[in-house]
Structure 1
């Protein structure tokens, strides 16, 4: 069952001059059709300005489409009476955790969302406990968020969304401001949520290494979906990705170069283990 279904989605930003006359129109989304099945981990890749963050904001009804259809958990985002229900089921995690963390103590911040939803106090604390455990932050529940690392703050932000018990979490470049260790922490927490809690995850990113475990990948450029498929299909097309100025995981690139040099290695190598096994087979031939 699809939890997200976008059909021919268009979003236009209208520029106006000082006299409020239309001076230009930019299509941030241009005929975008994307489907996400419940329980899947879907990644949306693209450079800044590709439209991926604009699409993310439509899922949470922060933006409304100019035309086309977007259904979230069976509800049309254009129906204003469904906005609150959509936001309950589609939680957003943004790039900068400091913009989402508002309380002075970690556990209070995680409980803020459920409290706003009118959840009973006893149930709030149960959710706080469960959410912090899910992202591996229980030991920090009484800490000040200001004392945490970037990766820890982002995990607290994710816990705050998880505590609201949405069916789907949209993460808009959640690791863009983090160092490699922080990025690893956050991606592990996201993957855990998806695999163990069956929460649908939509990851918006431009880091290719973060999406090798995704169920499905969409690649966007200039507001359009230009490629789609499972990670292995996408990363098998190294030259096509390069044409669109997109990187590939370093292991995939190394395997691609080795194949070009004449080694019998399959396309779409994603992990170090796969490359080692492929090289072992070559050495035994």
Structure 2
């Protein structure tokens, strides 16, 4: 495996076993089924899929919250199933969850952000440097003395992101980080994720079912029933509107509009990703 690889799964399969009250096996659900994927260092990757597609179960393997029933997961070359790697894996691959309230423990923002590095045994002076740097990175430094309870959902989520950044991970997995936020909060969080990728060079894995959030990715994996059904750049993925519909996924509204116009005979390219591209395509048409 090349040193450029951040994450790799080989035939990753994960089964949830359901038991009755006596502990007898009632049934087995295969949530992730034979997934092979590779993520390079510094990439921004999105994993799309509707509820029950297996995308969140897959994400939890990337920082060893779950271990494969079969197959292997490597984080920066370390096999996650090897117990001696657990601490290093979790230090390198941080996770931001759906509900910031489950992740925030401190009574004051800056204490909360310092919690991770403190647990890692980082010296006090450096903890405060990291807290300051992380809060500035997500634009929350002015709230460092506030109580998290007084923040909006988007602000809370940015504090939980700062808490992960303070541990200096190489990779951050965002597991549906905007599902509980309003549209402004969603924008704040995606902007923070993109900046971490662009400016800090941190590998980002974004798990989401919001189409608009994935247009900035280097690569998109689309999951359904535990399998990766499609992979490619956002443009390649969004050029296949009908296939996405079959997987019960929409596309960004502007992509859909462009697709419909194309079907009506307008000569515009497939896989339009944003309004600016659509306007440019329409301006470029030779109107009869």
Q: Same fold (TM over 0.5)?
A: yes
Residue 111 of structure 2 is matched in structure 1 by 108
Spell out the pairing of 1:140-179 with structure 2 (5 A cutoff). 140-179=143-182
Alpha-carbon shift at residue 19 of structure 1 (Å): 2.5
How many Å separate the matches in 2 of 1:69 and 1:104? Answer: 39
Runs of 4+ residues over 3 Å off in structure 1: none
The residue number in structure 2 matching 1:58 is 61
Instruction: Please give the secondary structure, in 2, of the residue aligned with 1:195.
Output: helix
Tell me, yes or no, if structure 1 residue 24 matches structure 2 residue 27. yes
SS of the counterpart of 1:112?
Answer: helix
Alpha-carbon shift at residue 55 of structure 1 (Å): 0.7
TM-score by length of 2: 0.98
1:134 maps to 137
**Cα-Cα RMSD:** 0.8
Secondary structure of 2:284's match?
A: helix
Alignment pair present for 1:277 and 2:280 = yes
State TM-score, norm by structure 1.
0.99
Give distance in 2, aligned partners of 1:17 and 1:102. Answer: 34
Q: Is residue 85 of structure 2 the alignment partner of residue 82 of structure 1?
A: yes
**Which residue is equivalent to 2:196?**
193
Q: How many residues align?
A: 285
Supply the distance in 2 between the matched residues of 1:96 and 1:283 (Cα, whole angstroms): 49
Question: Using the alignment, how far apart are the partners of 2:79 and 2:283 within structure 1?
Answer: 52
In 2, Cα distance between equivalents of 1:135 and 1:18: 46
> What do the CA deviations read for 1:22-77 (whole angstroms, capped 9, x no partner)?
12111011001111100000000001111110011111101110000110011001
Q: Which residue in 1 is equivalent to 2:38?
A: 35
Give the aligned partner of residue 74 of structure 2.
71
Cα displacement string for residues 225-282 of structure 1 (whole angstroms, at most 9, x for unaligned residues): 0000000000000010011110101110010011111110000000111000000011
Uncovered stretches (5+) of structure 2, i.e. residues with no partner: none
Q: Which runs of 5+ in 1 are unaligned?
A: none
